[in-house]
Structure 1
Amino acid sequence: MEYKSHFDLPIQLIMFFPFLILLVLYALNILTSIWAYRDARKRGKSNEYALLVLIGTLLFPVMGLIVYFIMRKDS
């Protein structure tokens, strides 16, 4: 007699959870980058500066936001 666990999940379901987590993190990265861009524009910064903030936070999500928050306090 073969033992069968009740917790055997299909591989598609197991692979879905990491994909879902990555999708949520990517969406959060996009939302925080858009927020940083709009915040820079609202504070009266130039379009070039705001675009640089957007690119920096998109490419370096955590470090980009930290650097933006530090630079934001100076102005």
Structure 2
Amino acid sequence: MRVSIFPLVILCLFMGFTFWVMTGAEQSLLAFGAQLISSPDTAQVVIDLYILAVLACVWMYQDARSRGKGVGYVIPFFLLTAVFVSAGPLLYLVLRGGREPEAEASKV
């Protein structure tokens, strides 16, 4: 399996920071989310992130389908995206690897 290094580095840094912050948090992730949604200015940012998450899930599904994978392959990425918005697509990019040169040449 080929692994993409750049998304792997970003994923490790992001998840490391996320877990470090969560260990020192005074409230649960759900309580924090409820607090963000309670104010219109922060709710707009949360809604914006989840629109981005849905678009990323659509992209992951279409990309997986074009690579011959079924919907079952992307379900774990969708679940991860639902909790940690950018972690799902980052992990997908890590495990997806790069495009094979033959596949790119045949598309031309």
What RMSD, in angstroms, separates the aligned Cα atoms of the two structures?
Answer: 2.1
Q: Could you say if the C-alpha distance between residues 16 and 61 of structure 1 is closer, same or farther in structure 2, counting changes exceeding 3 Å?
A: closer
Change (3 A) 1:60 1:18: closer
Partner of 1:26: 50
Q: Select the structure with the greater relative contact order (CA < 8 A; seq sep ≥ 6).
A: 2
Percent of aligned pairs sharing the same letter: 30
Asked whether the equivalents of residues 33 and 58 of structure 1 are also in contact (C-alpha less than 8 Å), the reply is: no
Answer with 1 or 2: which has the greater Rg: 1
Q: How many residues align?
A: 61
Gaps of 5+ in 1: 1-14
Cα deviation for residue 56 of structure 1 reads: 3.7
TM-score by structure 1 length?
0.62
Gaps of 5+ in 2: 1-38, 100-108
Which secondary structure does the structure 2 equivalent of 1:57 belong to?
helix
